[in-house]
């Protein structure tokens, strides 16, 4: 018999009640804060053509000849600064969010639903989780990337991973994907409530900076909507908080390499604001659903140091939504809307 190109189950899934599955997908994390663990993680991440749009042969030489010889040790040092006894903050935070969303949907969903978590890079992989959900009887799948703003470098890459998995399954599930939720009213309300609650506890700074992850400018020039969706989120959040334009700024962090990325850059912005006389700067990162290296180390540590060195007094990082009730409720409502019409799943809102 010729070997099949397709994978599938011999039969057990046929005997199980059909379920709707929700697959949350976050970026990913190394298994440990060490150069050895960072090397395969970075190779997978930076080897994704969605992330780095260079000719493959040229980028392979740069990645394996230079970057993977230097960056793992530097990244390991940064990860070690935020690693906890439970492990990676991104993983533990994403796992808590997954459990909380599953519990919430059990109360509000009108049918059997299974929530699982995958990482785009590292473990558990998108492929592993989709195959496991299929074994558990999931026949209709909603993929929810934990990226509020769409970019080809993030959500687009998740779609690639899902497609690569489904095209190898003999019996793929029905599929829907949440492309973005950057202007979702429930999400904006969750962000605003989180910031207001933090201000009520800690007082309000002189200015609020919203820092989003950056991407190369040429990606936006080629049609990526990310920059515009970030600014749409910022505008809606500013209006919901009742701030005028002078009290809120937007910047982009995490740039690498020499080519222009989205501007203004966060590190340059915090230095400029300090020089302009801002003493207490509040920073939130509305593009990150869960706290991670980029928020805990890059913003709360690195950029705090930049701000103080430039003359500011304190940079206060406002945590991501994580597994807060506000985020769980907003994501549950998002799931209910995107699963409407599937016969096995009827929300309480539709009754």
Helices (H), the chain: 35-46, 56-62, 68-82, 89-108, 126-135, 155-166, 185-202, 217-221, 226-241, 266-275, 293, 304-309, 325-338
Return the exposure string of 172-190: e unless at least 16 CB atoms fall within 10 Å of the residue's CB, then b.
Answer: bbeebbbebbbebebbbbb
End-to-end CA distance of the chain: 51
Nearest to 313 by CA among 195, 198, 197, 203: 203
* Residue 350: Cβ within 10 Å count: 12
- List the 174-177 sheet strands across, edge first: 113-121, 19-28, 138-145, 174-177
User: 228: annotated binding-site residue?
Assistant: no
Residue 11 DSSP symbol:
S
Tell me how many degrees the CA angle 276-278-281 measures, rounded to the nearest 5: 135
User: 231: annotated binding-site residue?
Assistant: no
d(CA 112, CA 20): 6
d(CA 351, CA 347): 7
Tell me how many degrees the CA angle 82-85-91 measures, rounded to the nearest 5: 65
Q: Do residues 253 and 267 lie in contact, with contact meaning Cβ atoms separated by under 8 Å?
A: yes
Give me the count of residues in the chain: 351
d(CA 350, CA 83): 43
Give the residue numbers of the binding site for Fe(2+): 213, 294
Give the residue numbers of the binding site: 213, 294
């Amino acid at each position: 018999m010729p070997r099949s190109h397709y994978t599938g189950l011999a039969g057990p899934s046929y005997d199980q009640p059909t379920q709707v599955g929700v697959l949350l997908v976050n970026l990913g994390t190394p298994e440990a804060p060490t150069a050895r663990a960072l090397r395969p993680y970075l190779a997978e991440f930076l080897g994704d053509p969605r992330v780095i749009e260079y000719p493959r042969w040229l980028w392979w030489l740069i990645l394996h000849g230079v970057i993977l010889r230097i960056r793992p040790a530097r990244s390991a040092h940064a990860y070690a600064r935020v690693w906890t006894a439970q492990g990676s903050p991104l993983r533990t935070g994403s796992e808590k969010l997954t459990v909380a969303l599953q519990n919430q949907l059990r109360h509000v969903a009108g049918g059997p639903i299974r929530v699982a978590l995958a990482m785009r890079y590292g473990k558990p992989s998108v492929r592993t989780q989709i195959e496991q959900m299929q074994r558990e009887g999931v026949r209709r799948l909603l993929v929810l990337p934990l990226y509020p703003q769409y970019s080809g470098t993030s959500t687009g890459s998740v779609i690639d991973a899902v497609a690569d998995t489904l095209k190898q399954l003999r019996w793929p599930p029905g599929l829907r994907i949440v492309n973005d939720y950057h202007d979702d009213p429930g999400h904006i309300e969750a962000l605003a409530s989180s910031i207001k609650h933090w201000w009520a506890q800690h007082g309000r700074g002189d200015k609020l900076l919203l820092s989003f992850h950056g991407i190369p400018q040429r990606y936006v020039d080629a049609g990526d909507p990310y920059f515009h969706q970030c600014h749409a989120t910022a505008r809606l959040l500013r209006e919901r908080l009742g701030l005028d334009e002078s009290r809120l700024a937007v910047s982009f962090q995490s740039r690498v390499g020499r080519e222009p990325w989205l501007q203004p850059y966060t590190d340059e912005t915090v230095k400029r604001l300090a020089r302009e006389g801002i003493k207490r700067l509040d920073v939130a990162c509305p593009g990150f659903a869960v706290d991670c290296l980029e928020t805990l180390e890059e913003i709360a540590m690195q950029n705090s140091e930049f701000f103080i060195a430039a003359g500011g007094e304190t940079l206060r990082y406002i945590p991501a939504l994580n597994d807060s009730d506000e985020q769980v409720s907003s994501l549950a409502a998002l799931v209910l809307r995107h699963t409407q019409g599937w016969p096995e799943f009827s929300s309480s809102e539709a009754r």
